[in-house]
């Protein structure tokens, strides 16, 4: 089997080229052809010596992921479903905004964490994606979009969020080389501040990411105390909130931004009451005596039947946001995008051969909290 060059960061490609008896600058040329120009055939790399192109033909390939489907939302959001073999498929979503183009990228086929509110989590876990499979999503999307939007070669994707299917920090070995290609000036040249890794809280890997490849960090918090978070995110039993927030503060010493983004999915009657907002504000402002420098991103839940959960009403989301803002915490409410094509947050289900029976475990945990909320406790000025 020939090597798929999408699997290499620039260092890896330089090593591969050295094995062919080629100098490092040839690797840089090749890398630019692949990632900056979207080339998939060595024949089109006209400034490479013919002898090198012949060597590459026999030893390497540039192979993206087979595209299964593409859906374009009325708001311009585009969702792609890619075949990753063996009956598994992963999704990527492009979200255009006036000042940026964001690609949401998957890191695993499925996810073993099994968060209660996440449709990927309910699919179970099949396998980690390789670096090449992670990058193939960006490689395809960037070069497809340049043609689709007729940008005349201008870059379209300015931001990448590792928030698609999977827990990226449970696929660390493949994640870091992929991030390095995104950041490399000879690759996609993205700013560290515009590449975000989102994690449910794999504490040791947060520390390693800070050392190896600090980028923006988003943490799925979703609850202000361990009792509730244990029920929503099973990983919390291993890495409880105090340890997670300590890791966030350590990460901030390396991070390209001076804050962590905490994601908080608003679940009707579960974590969205005024007392939760006050407890959350207290937590992030007082943890360890100095708090955690952060922004809060409230996410309207996208219900799916297997979750047994409902979206918080708008007035309760606004009341929750007001309590946090009044406490001095920068708080945003995420706009839902791509609702009409199931591309909104937590709706990326792909198609996964579950090897972990995570869905069965989630079903067994359904002892949780769907208690009715008395109407008069939910309205705040």
How many residues touch ligand SF4 under the rule CB under 6 A: the total is 12
The tally of CA atoms less than 13 A away on the side-chain side of residue 263 is 22
Minimum CB distance to ligand SF4 smaller for 60 or for 90: 90
Angstrom distance (rounded) from CA 298 to CA 262: 8
Give the three-state DSSP class for 70.
strand
Q: What are phi and psi of 84, to 5 degrees?
A: -110, 20
Minimum CB distance to ligand SF4 smaller for 40 or for 356: 356
Q: Encode burial over 302-333: b for 16+ CB neighbours within 10 A, e otherwise.
A: bbbebbebebbbeebbebbbebbeebebebeb
DSSP 166-234: S-GGGSHHHHHHHHHHHH-TTTT---GGGEEEEES--HHHHHHHHHH---EEEEE---SSHHHHHHH-G
Question: Residue 365 Cβ, how far from ligand SF4 at the closest point, in Å?
Answer: 13
Whether 294 is catalytic is no
DSSP 160-177: EEE-SSS-GGGSHHHHHH
According to CB under 6 A, which one of 130, 200, 261, 378 is a site residue for ligand SF4? 200
Minimum CB distance to ligand SF4 smaller for 60 or for 348: 348
- Which residues in the 14-33 window bind ligand SF4 by CB under 6 A? none
C-alpha dihedral (65, 69, 72, 78), degrees to nearest 10: -30
Angstrom distance (rounded) from CA 45 to CA 54: 11
Q: Contact region for ligand SF4 (CB under 6 A) — 152-160, 161-169, 305-313, 324-332?
A: 161-169
Question: Residue 39 Cβ, how far from ligand SF4 at the closest point, in Å?
Answer: 32
According to CB under 6 A, which one of 166, 224, 269, 338 is a site residue for ligand SF4? 166
Question: Residue 107 Cβ, how far from ligand SF4 at the closest point, in Å?
Answer: 9
Question: Residue 118 Cβ, how far from ligand SF4 at the closest point, in Å?
Answer: 3
Check 22, 91, 133, 142 and give the catalytic one.
91
> Which of 24, 42, 111, 55 lies closest to 350 in space, CA to CA?
111
- Which residues in the 75-134 window bind ligand SF4 by CB under 6 A? 111, 113-115, 118, 120-121
Residue nearest to ligand SF4 (CB): 121
Minimum CB distance to ligand SF4 smaller for 120 or for 378: 120
Site string for ligand SF4, 215-244 (x = CB under 6 A): -----x------------------------
With binding defined as CB under 6 A, does residue 167 bind ligand SF4?
yes
Whether 133 is catalytic is no
> Which of 303, 304, 230, 219 lies closest to 264 in space, CA to CA?
219
Q: Pull the structure tokens for residue 199.
A: 């994690």
Minimum CB distance to ligand SF4 smaller for 202 or for 277: 202
Angstrom distance (rounded) from CA 133 to CA 205: 21
With binding defined as CB under 6 A, does residue 187 bind ligand SF4?
no
Question: Residue 170 Cβ, how far from ligand SF4 at the closest point, in Å?
Answer: 8
Q: Which of the residues are catalytic?
A: 91, 345
- Name the site residues for ligand SF4 (rule: CB under 6 A): 111, 113-115, 118, 120-121, 165-167, 200, 220
């Amino acid at each position: 089997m020939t090597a798929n060059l999408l699997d290499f960061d620039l260092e890896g490609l330089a090593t591969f080229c050295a094995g062919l008896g080629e100098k490092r600058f040839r690797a840089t040329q090749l890398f630019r052809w692949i990632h900056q120009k979207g080339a998939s055939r060595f024949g089109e790399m006209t400034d490479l010596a013919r002898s090198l192109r012949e060597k590459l033909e026999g030893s390497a390939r540039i192979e993206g992921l087979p595209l299964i489907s593409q859906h374009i939302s009325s708001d311009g959001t585009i969702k792609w479903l890619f075949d990753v073999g063996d009956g598994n498929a992963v999704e990527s979503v492009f979200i255009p905004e006036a000042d940026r183009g964001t690609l949401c990228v998957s890191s695993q086929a499925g996810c073993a964490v099994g968060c209660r509110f996440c449709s990927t989590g309910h699919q179970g876990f099949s396998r980690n994606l390789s670096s090449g499979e992670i990058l193939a999503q960006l490689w395809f999307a960037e070069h497809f979009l340049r043609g689709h939007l007729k940008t005349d070669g201008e870059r379209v994707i300015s931001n990448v969020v590792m928030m698609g299917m999977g827990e990226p920090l449970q696929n660390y070995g493949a994640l870091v080389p992929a991030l390095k290609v995104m950041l490399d000036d000879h690759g996609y040249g993205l700013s560290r501040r515009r590449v975000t890794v989102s994690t449910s809280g794999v504490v040791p890997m947060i520390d390693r990411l800070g050392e190896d490849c600090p980028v923006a960090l988003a943490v799925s918090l979703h609850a202000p105390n361990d009792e509730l978070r244990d029920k929503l995110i099973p990983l919390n039993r291993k890495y409880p909130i105090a340890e997670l927030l300590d890791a966030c503060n350590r990460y901030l010493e390396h991070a390209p931004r001076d804050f962590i983004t905490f994601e908080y999915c608003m679940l009707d009657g579960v974590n969205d009451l005024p007392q939760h907002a006050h407890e959350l504000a207290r937590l992030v402002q007082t943890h360890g005596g100095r708090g955690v420098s952060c922004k809060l991103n409230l996410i309207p839940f996208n219900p799916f039947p297997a979750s047994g959960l409902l979206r918080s009403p708008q007035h309760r989301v606004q009341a929750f946001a007001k309590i946090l803002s009044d406490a001095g915490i920068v708080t945003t409410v995420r706009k839902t995008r791509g609702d009409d094509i199931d591309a909104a947050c937590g709706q990326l289900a792909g198609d996964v051969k579950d090897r972990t029976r995570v869905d069965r475990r989630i079903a067994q945990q359904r002892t949780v909290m769907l208690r009715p909320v008395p109407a008069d406790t939910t309205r705040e000025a």
